[in-house]
Copies of this chain bind each other. A is one copy, B any other.
Amino acid sequence: MREIGIEQLADIARGAGILGTGGGGDPYVGLLLAREAVRRHGPVTVVDIDEVPADATVVPISSMGAPTVLLEKLPSGREEINALRALEAVLGRPATHLVPIEIGGVNSMIPLAAAAQTGLPIVDGDAMGRAFPEAQMVLPGLIGVSNSPMALADDKGNTIVVRAVDNTEAERIARAVCVERGCQISCADTVLRGDQLRDGLVPATLTLAENLGRVVREAHAAHRDPVAEARELLGGVHLSAGKVVDVERRTEGGFARGRARLEGEGAVLELDFQNEHLLARRDGRVVATTPDLICVLDTETGEPVTTEGLRYGLRVTVLAAPCDPRWLSPAGLALTGPRYFGYDLDHHPLSG
């Protein structure tokens, strides 16, 4: 058990931004939300997975939508709490802990803000070990945990509770509501008991995000290579470094979809994304795929570059890092592998 105060938030947001593989929302937006909540309500208590009682009610809180929209339509903090309260009402019991559903710039900070607001402890971990674009892409789904009831809340005070026959149906219904509500909605879903956390979460990812964010900050301040130090910490591989020469982007179906092209090191690197990076090709050859992490960092500062932040002229370095091994199981790949996203290819193993 430890506390997260104002001073840790920037590192967590930066690190989570890198782990978010381009998605999960802009780290700066996430930082603003969490900073305001912690300033107003005080620090957040963080507990490790093995500190959580077996009968605890652990609730992931997140924001669903297109990160391109999130930049202009910030959650107020009220809708996350509305989603939480709507979920608690149908559960018939209060949440005892909050947890991020994913590690990403905004979606790791929203639960911190909600934890500050509610006084609930937050669990050090998340349900993906990265960010993924769709609600059913969570480790709890692999152990039979339902994402229903799923509580949604918009910025106007409306709440919606979805009870779906499977996790993908819940995603589809929630996404339709999300799109109609302006491509941004807050969610509370995929409730875990304390004794499900070991199988349902990637442990200690808030700590990993904080370490990663600190390493990058310190390396940059000391004029070392922040990207190299981040890669080392993640056990990742270098895919390419260069200049963004083209970005094609559309906000579609409640997602930010598109493709970016980088030139550098005598090669062309192409990145396909749906909120998160899905696929990297170097000179037309696939070099990394979902569910591995494809991370884009500012080459000079090591700051994460989200898919909605990609723009012509940016100097970036692209890394790939191994995902949680459970995603490489047949069931994990069925949920998050390249074929789910319509690519006719298998997961590409990373080579260092």
Contacts and interface: CB of A to CB of B under 8 A. Distances in A.
Interface of A: 86, 90, 156-165, 169-170, 172-173, 175-177, 179-181
Nearest to A170: B158
A165 B172 CA distance: 23
Contacts of A163: 86, 158-161
Nearest to A178: B176
A165 B158 contact: yes
A78 B156 CA distance: 32
A165 B173 contact: no
Contacts of A180: 172-173, 175-176
A50 B177 CA distance: 39
A156 B148 CA distance: 15
What 8 pairs between A and B have smallest CB-CB spacing? Answer: A176-B180, A158-B164, A157-B165, A161-B161, A159-B163, A176-B176, A160-B162, A158-B169
Interface centre among A160, A169, A177, A179 (most CB of B within 10 A): A160
A86 to B, nearest CB: 7
26 contacts: A90-B90, A90-B161, A156-B165, A157-B165, A158-B162, A158-B163, A158-B165, A158-B169, A158-B170, A158-B173, A159-B162, A159-B163, A160-B160, A160-B161, A160-B162, A160-B163, A160-B173, A161-B163, A172-B180, A173-B180, A173-B181, A176-B176, A176-B177, A176-B179, A176-B180, A177-B177
A64 to B, nearest CB: 14
Contacts of A164: 158
Contacts of A161: 90, 160-161, 163
Contacts of A170: 158
B173 A156 contact: no
Nearest to A169: B158
A328 to B, nearest CB: 30
Given A158-B165, A172-B180, 17 more contacts: A90-B161, A156-B165, A156-B169, A158-B164, A158-B169, A158-B170, A158-B173, A159-B163, A160-B160, A160-B161, A160-B162, A161-B163, A173-B177, A173-B180, A176-B176, A176-B181, A177-B177
